[in-house]
Amino acid sequence: MSLSTAIVIKKSFWAYGTMLGKFLSAGCLGILLGLFVTFVEIEQGKGFVAIEAGPWTGWPRSEASVIDPFSRAILVYSGKIALSESEAMSFVAHSDSDGAEFNSACDYVVKGEIPPARYWTLTLLSPAGALIANPAERQGFTSSELLRTSDGQFEIALSRHARPGNWLPLDRASKFILVLRFYDSELSAPATALDAAHMPVIVKGRCE
């Protein structure tokens, strides 16, 4: 092998090396981008099957096979699959009826109409789905234990300070969401056309 052939071989080897490097870095960049988009979509997305009614977002109580893989990934990731697939039809609210995100420095009142169900519960959770500790050890209400007015109406007060009647304590430091669950309800029917007027409203009160 002459010296010149050796140099040519070496050169082409280098060219091949940089080409491979380019391919690898493009591949890595692509994978990173793909994972990033997946993360953002799953974190922010609601999927294709979500039902919206006022501040509430619900997922049909599906026999999971009818859910598209995208919605399924979102539900699994958020832990909400446990809700949507179990016995209840569930709705989550991250904001009040005016669309403003919940702020634990403010008072809120949940009131109004509620769709018919054998039982329903309203629970206050952290955005990750954990219960929030409070001295009153009160994390939610069931439809049975609520105090109601004589005409059957109810009001649930969310506040850092004790309130008469139905009071859900807020923690100053914690972000929160509300979860409304209907057990044994006609709402389980697929493609429920839910009218926001038939769901409770969440009204913001005084803020500190």
Binding site residues, other proteins, CB under 8 A: 22, 26-27, 29-31, 33-35, 37-38, 41-42, 62-65, 69-70, 72-73, 76-83, 85-88, 90, 118-119, 121, 123, 125, 128-133, 139-140, 142-145, 179, 181, 183-184
Q: Which is nearer to other proteins, 91 or 108 (CB)?
A: 91
CA-based nearest residue to 200, from 154, 163, 158, 164: 154
Shortest Å, Cβ 6 to other proteins: 27
Q: Which is nearer to other proteins, 155 or 171 (CB)?
A: 171
Write out the DSSP string of 115-174.
--EEEEEEEEE-TTS-B---TT---EEETTT--B-TTS-BEEEEESS--SSEEEE--TT-
Shortest Å, Cβ 206 to other proteins: 26
Measured CA to CA, the distance from residue 44 to residue 108 in angstroms comes to 25
Q: Which is nearer to other proteins, 15 or 29 (CB)?
A: 29
Question: With contact defined as beta carbons under 8 Å apart, do 61 and 188 qualify?
Answer: yes
Shortest Å, Cβ 165 to other proteins: 16
CB atoms within 10 A of CB 42: 16
**Alpha-carbon dihedral sign for residues 190, 196, 197, 203:** positive
Shortest Å, Cβ 177 to other proteins: 10
Q: Which is nearer to other proteins, 70 or 203 (CB)?
A: 70
Shortest Å, Cβ 39 to other proteins: 9
Q: Which is nearer to other proteins, 179 or 202 (CB)?
A: 179
Residue 194 CB-half CA count within 13 A: 30
> What residue type is 2 in one-letter code?
S
